[in-house]
């Protein structure tokens, strides 16, 4: 099954019909005509590329006269949350989706730099976009490590030959991971596998966090940070000064 690897291809808003077009986890097109329909789908984790869907959902809410705080904004990148203040979503939404894609591209390159030929890379990604961007990069670009790739967004099918694991999820400014990642961190720690938290867009306002002490590093578009240094992300414009060098 092929999913789009770009946020700009995973969601489309039709302002004339006041309808948000997206995909479910079966790769089937879905339409959300009211904020209530969208919120139910997000609560049930039914949306592929949830970050892009939430971005489009802000426009949907505005057109229906509903406050966008009904959406799960706390776990979204700042560039998505900033859409709430935009006066021109017709311009701001495409720009937001393009920035999501650029962050995934930079983060994927940093992640692959930690891998070697014949590694087995397992990715847990509840959003889906980063995992599929990385998959496309490994398949289509030269000079990429030759990896066996396992992508999952549900139960963690831990392969005993896995050598590197990436957990894609939210992290806050204190270096805490989202509570939803807790069981996967525990599994990987028990298996004594190299494991890294992937947060392409840096810290979010996520609540209900857990200590990320068992994650050696957080991979972002601006660099690879120790968990206790992730707050530097907001001041760094490219690669931060306090990063972990893997070369």
pLDDT band at 229 (very low <50, low <70, confident <90, very high): confident
Averaging pLDDT over each range in 156-160, 162-166, 221-225, 241-245, which range is the top one? 221-225
- Cα gap 132→34, rounded to integer Å: 28
In this structure, are 34 and 125 located in the same domain?
A: no
Residues 182 and 223 in one domain: yes
CA pair distance 12, 94, nearest whole angstrom = 9
Query: Apex CA 207: angle with CA 96 and CA 79, to 5°?
Result: 10
> Has residue 192 got a pLDDT over 80?
no
What are the structure tokens assigned to 185, written together?
């961190």
Claim: this prediction has a pTM higher than 0.85: yes
Q: Is residue 74 part of a domain?
A: yes
CA torsion 26-80-183-173 (nearest 10°) is: 170
- Structure-model confidence comparison of residues 241 and 156, the more confident one: 156
| Domain assignment of residue 28, given as a range | 7-101
Helices (H), the chain: 7-10, 35-43, 50-63, 78-81, 89-112, 129-140, 182-191
Beta-bridge mates of residue 30: 22
What would the pLDDT profile of 9-28 be if each residue is shown by its tens digit? 999 999 999 999 999 999 99
**Of 30, 14, 116, residue with least CA distance to 22:** 30
- The number of distinct structural domains making up the chain is 2
Residue 241 has pLDDT above 60, yes or no: no
What CATH number corresponds to the domain at position 188? 3.40.50.10470
Q: Could you say which of 36, 71, 101 is where a domain stops? A: 101
* Ordered DSSP codes for 18-45: TEEEEEBTTS-EEEE-SHHHHHHHHHTT
Give the HSE-up count for residue 57: Cα atoms under 13 Å, Cβ half-sphere: 28
Q: Please check whether residues 66 and 164 belong to one and the same domain.
A: no
């Amino acid at each position: 099954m092929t999913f789009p690897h770009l946020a700009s291809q995973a969601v489309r808003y039709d302002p004339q019909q006041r309808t948000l077009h997206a995909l479910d986890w079966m790769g089937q097109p879905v339409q959300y005509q009211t904020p209530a329909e969208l919120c139910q789908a997000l609560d049930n984790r039914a949306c592929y590329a949830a970050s892009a869907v939430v971005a489009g959902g802000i426009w949907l809410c505005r057109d229906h006269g509903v406050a966008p705080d009904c959406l799960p904004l706390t776990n979204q990148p700042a560039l998505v949350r900033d859409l709430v203040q935009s006066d021109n979503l017709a311009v701001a939404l495409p720009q937001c989706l393009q920035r999501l894609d650029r962050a995934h591209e930079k983060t994927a390159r940093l992640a692959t730099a930690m891998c070697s030929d014949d590694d087995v890379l397992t990715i847990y990604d509840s959003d889906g976009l980063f995992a599929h961007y990385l998959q496309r990069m490994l398949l289509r670009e030269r000079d990429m490590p030759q990896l066996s790739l396992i992508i999952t967004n549900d139960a963690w099918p831990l392969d005993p030959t896995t050598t590197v694991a990436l957990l894609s999820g939210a992290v806050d400014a204190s270096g805490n991971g989202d509570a939803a990642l807790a069981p996967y961190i525990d599994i990987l720690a028990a298996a004594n596998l190299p494991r890294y938290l992937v947060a392409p867009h840096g810290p979010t306002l996520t609540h209900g966090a857990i200590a990320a002490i068992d994650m050696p590093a957080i991979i972002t578009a601006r660099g690879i940070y120790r968990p206790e240094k992730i707050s530097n992300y907001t001041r760094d414009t490219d690669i931060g000064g306090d990063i972990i060098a893997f070369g």
